[in-house]
């Protein structure tokens, strides 16, 4: 079969990358589809460090993709805050390296950039809970948000120099496989350990008062897949929010998880889990993605939360079976 789509995914072994590779494999296409995974993790087709400009250019000339979906990043805000230099190297310089290489080595290739709603920062506070549209100012308040905002602006500018770019600003997204560095799996992992008798019925939390717009990772990667395959109308050169349009209080997320556990669990605020910069409400307007790409969220939030909890129950069970964690409370 003739290959019509050859899609290179950076960060392919990460949380979002794993789901995107799965979504692309399952995507109904009329012609041949070839996927190339790139990253620093195990199992990738190409071992690629996006900070290495020469290696990036060589890889693109060898692979000659029809689309690049750029997911490789320092993705956890806490990690970016601990090492700002590395976050800027990977999230900004790495993105510019890759986009520049696409522009010059494979100019017909689409470049899909996974940015972040964290780029809006202070604009959320100024919006006072209103849904954020793409034309609002980028005023990042965190290192992670700043690196993503800078890369977003660079990729947007490069469109006018010929880069076939499509930018996304996804809001909070979660699902099975996500690490404990994010709020829903952080809660779910603790509850799974409590259920297994590995911890007392106490859960440590950060700020429960904030409101956030949550998506299922499987919905987010559908948007990336649509863009990579050239679906939709007039997407190139544009930027799209990916959001549900609904702001949900973090406390409600925890309440759902506790209810699903059926346990009586005490909640304790842990200072180390409270972010130094936090905005009251973040909510997105994704009408542009719906119009241009025909995209819309399909997963209900409680179903997503349940899937995350189920995933952590499996992880904890496997750890117990492998004797890789401490004995249960009360065991000798």
- What's the mean pLDDT in 118-134? 96
| Full residue range of the structural domain in which residue 182 is found | 3-321
Q: What secondary structure letter does DSSP report for 90? A: I
pLDDT on residue 278:
76
- Within-domain flag for 70: yes
| CATH number assigned to the domain comprising residue 248 | 3.40.50.720
Band (pLDDT 50/70/90 cuts) for residue 88 is: very high
Residue 328's pLDDT band, with cuts at 50, 70 and 90, is very low
User: Worst-scoring range by mean pLDDT, 55-64, 151-160, 203-212, 255-264?
Assistant: 203-212
The pLDDT of residue 104 is above 80: yes
Q: Is residue 175 part of a domain?
A: yes
Residue 129 has pLDDT above 70, yes or no: yes
Integer CA distances (angstroms), 198 to 35, 189, 195, 316, 322, in order: 41, 11, 8, 9, 14
Domain membership of residue 331 (yes or no) is no
Write out pLDDT tens, residues 151-203.
999 999 999 999 999 999 999 999 999 999 999 999 999 999 999 999 999 99
Mean pLDDT of 90-102: 98
Model pLDDT, residue 329:
47
Rounded CA-CA distance 20/55 in Å is: 23
Q: Is residue 233 part of a domain?
A: yes
Residue 82 Cα distances to 78, 132, 251, angstroms: 6, 28, 27
Over residues 114-134, mean pLDDT: 97
Q: What is the dihedral of CA 116, 122, 123, 125, to 10 degrees?
A: 120
Q: Higher-confidence residue: 171 or 274? A: 171
User: Are the CB atoms for 215 and 297 separated by under 8 Å?
Assistant: yes
Q: Does residue 219 have a pLDDT over 80?
A: yes
The mean pLDDT value for 108-132 works out to: 97
Residues 6+ apart with CB under 8 A from 196: 313, 316, 317, 320, 328
Residue 327 has pLDDT above 60, yes or no: no
Q: Tally the domains of the chain.
A: 1
Q: Which of 162, 209, 205, 160 lies closest to 184, judged by CA?
A: 205
Starting from the edge strand earliest in sequence, which strands make up the sheet with 46-47, in order?
A: 46-47, 32-39, 3-10, 67-70, 110-114, 164-170, 239-242
Q: Is residue 329 part of a domain?
A: no
Identify each DSSP E strand in 92-134 by its residue range: 110-114
Q: How large is the greatest C-alpha to C-alpha distance in the chain, in angstroms?
A: 67
pLDDT reported for residue 238: 98
Residue 288 lies in a domain: yes
Residue 90 lies inside a defined structural domain of this protein: yes
Residue 146 lies in a domain: yes
């Amino acid at each position: 079969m003739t290959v019509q789509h050859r899609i290179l995914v950076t960060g392919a072994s990460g949380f979002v990358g794993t789901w995107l590779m799965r979504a692309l494999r399952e995507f109904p296409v009329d012609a041949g589809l070839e996927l190339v995974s790139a990253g620093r993790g195990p199992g990738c087709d190409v071992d690629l460090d996006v900070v290495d400009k020469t290696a990036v250019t060589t890889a693109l000339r060898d692979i000659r993709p029809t689309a690049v979906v750029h997911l490789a990043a320092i993705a956890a805000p806490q990690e970016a805050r601990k090492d700002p230099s590395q976050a800027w190297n990977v999230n900004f310089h790495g993105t510019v390296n890759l986009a520049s290489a696409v522009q010059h080595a494979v100019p017909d290739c689409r470049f899909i950039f996974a940015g972040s709603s964290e780029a809006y920062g202070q604009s959320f506070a100024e919006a006072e809970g209103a849904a954020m549209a793409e034309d609002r100012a980028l005023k990042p308040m965190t290192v992670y948000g700043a690196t993503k905002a800078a890369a977003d602006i660079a990729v947007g500018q490069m469109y006018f120099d010929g880069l076939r770019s499509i930018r996304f600003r996804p809001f909070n997204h979660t699902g099975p496989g996500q690490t404990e560095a994010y709020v829903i799996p952080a809660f779910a992992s603790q509850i799974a350990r409590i259920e297994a008798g590995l911890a007392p019925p106490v859960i440590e939390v950060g700020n429960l008062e904030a409101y956030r717009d949550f998506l299922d990772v499987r919905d987010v990667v559908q948007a990336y897949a649509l863009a990579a395959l050239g679906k939709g109308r007039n997407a190139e050169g544009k930027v799209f929010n990916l959001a549900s349009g609904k702001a949900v209080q973090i406390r409600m997320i925890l309440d759902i998880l506790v209810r699903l556990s059926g346990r009586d669990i005490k909640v304790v605020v842990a200072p180390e889990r409270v972010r130094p910069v936090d905005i009251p409400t973040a909510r997105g307007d994704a009408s542009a993605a719906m119009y241009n790409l025909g995209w819309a969220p399909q997963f209900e939030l409680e179903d997503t939360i349940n899937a995350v909890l189920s995933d952590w129950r499996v992880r904890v069970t496997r750890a117990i079976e492998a004797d890789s964690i401490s004995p249960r409370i009360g065991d000798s």
